[in-house]
Structure 1
Amino acid sequence: MAEIARDEGFRLNGAKTRAMARSARQQLCGVVVNEHPNVPRREYDLLKAILHDAARNGPAAANRGDHPDFRAHRLGRIAWVEQLNPPRGQRLRERFEAISWAHP
């Protein structure tokens, strides 16, 4: 791999390069890349929990980070999941669409 990268004109940073076992989670730029690109389980579970909280207690209660456009931020994260894993992303989008986003 290193030789191919060098042949293509890239320089490798040895401090950022490591071999990863097949059985371990191989993550690159926040994306799990073992068999196919996927969202890390922790990210997916956190997003699902936030959507659950927004559905039960309202978006304002779920916006613990006080994000100025919480709805758009969540929708962007869902779009990211949909790109990597469409079935999981679709399930999140269904949860998102079930939330009442009307302002009080």
Structure 2
Amino acid sequence: MTAAPHDVPALAARTALTLPYTHVDDIFVDGAWIPARGTGRNPVTDPATGEVWGSVPDGTLDDVDAAVAAARTAFDAARGRGWSRPSGPPICCASPRKSRSAPRNCR
């Protein structure tokens, strides 16, 4: 995929960048880089230019399960240490579908 003419500034900015990693071979799970179990690759595309500039490993369901388990463990370990619901009314009480006026009771 190539950049459209209106993307020329984005392409120039992208070209000026020096990216240290364009093809990552591992996935980050539980605070460490580990090999992905999948054998395929997924392209990484620059949304500003449409240019493919790198790739990442294709993870498997086992990779997802490991990442979710690590996230659950971290969440459970942090329970009671700063995880709390804010007090007071919700940040914005007016629904845009019900009223086009300025929201009330917002902080």
Q: Same fold (TM over 0.5)?
A: no
TM-score (norm 2): 0.25
Structure number with greater Rg is 2
Quick check: which one's helix share is greater? 1
